[in-house]
Structure 1
Amino acid sequence: MTRKEDQVRRMLEGPHPRVPPGLAPAAAARGARIVRHRRVRRLAAVLTLAAAVAALAVWLALTGPWAAPPSVVAPPPRVF
């Protein structure tokens, strides 16, 4: 065993500190708050992505970028 392992074993075997009385409810409340914030952030990200997809669909429907551009070549001149 190394010296650090001995120190860890002594710490684990020794007297354990007392846990504050309101620790468990406070930790549960904090965990619930963190989960709620993550859920809100995820919802905001999904809504932002949906808005971006909707905007892209509207842009594609209005501009039609897949269509061929109008021909700009003039017909050959007529010689009389």
Structure 2
Amino acid sequence: MNRTEREAAVRRILDQTPPQVPADLYEDVLRRGGRMLRRRTAARRVLWLVLFAAAVAFTVWALTVRPWVEPPSQTTPPLSGW
């Protein structure tokens, strides 16, 4: 099929009348789309809540454990009584 045949085929398809859409399709699409938006919004809120809870848990852990402080040395005895 060369270019002119393809163009003619496309013109024939475009000249045809569009197919009839069922009347209740619009209501179904609105209902499903609304449901998808509500689910997406709920999932996004849950994700932010989990992220916030993880940040709070990490902050509490870091403040109680203090991993940046060097642990006391266990190899040499403390110098006292000099």
TM-score tier by shorter-chain length is 0.7 to 0.9
**Aligned-CA RMSD value:** 1.9
Q: 1:26 to 1:57 in 2, by over 3 A?
A: same
**Percent of counterpart pairs with the same letter?**
39
Structure 2: gaps (5+ residues): none
Q: Where does residue 41 of structure 2 map in the other structure?
A: 39
1:1-80 superposed matches below 5 A: 1-75=3-77
**Which ranges of structure 1 fall in alignment gaps of 5 or more residues?**
none
Relative to the length of structure 2, the TM-score reads 0.77
Structure 1 counterpart of 2:14, which letter?
Answer: L
Give the distance between the partners of 2:26 and 2:16, measured in 1 at CA.
23
TM-score by length of 1: 0.79
